[in-house]
Amino acid sequence: MMPNSDLKVLGEKVRKERKLAGLTQEQLAERCHVSTKHIANIEKGSMNPSYEILLAIARILPVSLDALITPGMGKTEIELKEFNRIYLSCPEAVRETLMDSTRTLAKHLTEFYSKIENP
């Protein structure tokens, strides 16, 4: 069982990600197949959600399960896990194109920022 302080952190993360996704508690609850009160209690930190509910939340919101349940996870680690989740969510036939596009975009952005930082 998670300590109360961890439940509060988890609740804050769920609330933040839900709002960033533009969802109400009602909408998130409906998509997770739970009551609005259930989501509200998770966000308040007064309920320890089951693995199944956390997994449903992570699938609906643009956040990894790791980012939800690991207090203190750094921004870079969260972003890397998100890249991984995006990559793995694509059909295998699309992954090579995604990687090529990402490499090309990263190269062009790096060159662009180099030019504006060092004119």
DSSP one-letter string for 65-98: HHHHH-TT--HHHHHHHHHHHHHHHS-HHHHHHH
pLDDT band at 66 (very low <50, low <70, confident <90, very high): confident
Q: What is the mean pLDDT of residues 71-80?
A: 74
Instruction: Report the alpha-carbon angle 71-74-80, nearest 5.
Output: 115
Query: Exposure of 66 by Cβ count < 10 A (0-12 exposed, 13-18 middle, 19+ buried)?
Result: middle
Q: What is the mean pLDDT of residues 83-102?
A: 91
CB 84 within 8 A of CB 76: no
> Over pLDDT 70: what percentage of the chain?
95
* Residue 3: band (very low, low, confident or very high) from pLDDT cuts 50, 70, 90: low
Q: Note the Cα 99 to chain centre separation in Å.
A: 20
Instruction: Quickly state the pLDDT bin for 2 (edges 50, 70, 90).
Output: low
| Contact indicator for 101, 83 with CB cutoff of 8 Å | no
pLDDT at 4 over 80: no
Average per-residue pLDDT for the chain: 88
Average pLDDT of the residues in 36-60: 94
